[in-house]
Amino acid sequence: MKMRLLPASALAVPLAALFVAAAGCTTASGPLHNLDIVTLANGTQAYRVQCLGLLESSKACMKKVNEICGDKQPLRVSAVDRAASGFVPENDPREIMFICQAPQPVVQPHVAPPPPPPPPVNTQPQTITLNADANFAFDKSDLLPAGKQALDQFIQQSDGVNIGTVVINGHTDSKGTKAYNDRLSLRRAQSVRNYLQSHGLHAGQYEVNGYGFSKPVASNASAEGRAKNRRVEIQTSGITAR
């Protein structure tokens, strides 16, 4: 077990006053060491191992230190090195004063959980239908707030993909002349294209058509049927992840 050096601030007293006296007597000895129990100035019980003989070594001291502390952590209070010629320390401690402390719990660093994976990208062709009555001004090609909101949602859902082709088809009911309805359906389809282009939809090309009343989805004989026929359809294809 590696011994740690106990900083002097941990005991709040100078080294000269670390022990009241070797509570005086040698409590144990052997051929390679002497062991004293001492009381530090703050009342903490400490141990002093001496291995000063010619046949003794710092390894013998450290072995005894680890035997005394067992599964606890030895914290060195002070040490006296063996001196070589000229009284230069050899970094070979032959007298070690230490205390035994319970092992400190290992604090695991906080690791942030990985971010959730991005949602899967939908690369399937889509068809979106805008009802003309709810999304365009009456008899005009101007988008109403509800129409802009629907297109914004479509753009948001298409974030993260490239669309090869966007086909926009405008349709009307059968009231009015063919020429008038062809023009109105084309202008509404163009309004949708302009909005998508200017608001960041990633598309390779746009195809815009005005079919007037030539492709109804319901009968024009009733008001309900005519309302279903007044519409703009958006179809996408060639979608790839971006």
What is the reported pLDDT for 18?
A: 42
Write the secondary structure of 119-152 as one string of H (helix), E (strand) and C (coil).
CCCCCCCEEEEEEHHHHECCCCCCECHHHHHHHH
What is the reported pLDDT for 233?
A: 97
pTM confidence score: 0.53
The CATH 3.30.200 domain(s) of the chain lie at 4-101
If you average pLDDT over every residue of the chain, what do you get? 82
| CA gap 127, 149 in Å, rounded | 17
CATH topology of domain 4-101: Phosphorylase Kinase; domain 1 (3.30.200)
The CATH 3.30.1330.60 domain(s) of the chain lie at 126-241
pLDDT tens-place string over residues 157-173 = 888 889 999 999 999 99
pLDDT tens-place string over residues 6-44 = 443 444 334 334 433 434 444 556 666 788 888 888 888
Mean predicted confidence (pLDDT) in 100-129: 85
The residue ranges of DSSP E strands in 42-182, in sequence order, are 45-50, 73-83, 89-101, 126-131, 161-171
3.30.1330.60, 3.90.180.10, 3.40.50.300, 2.60.40.420: which CATH number matches 126-241? 3.30.1330.60
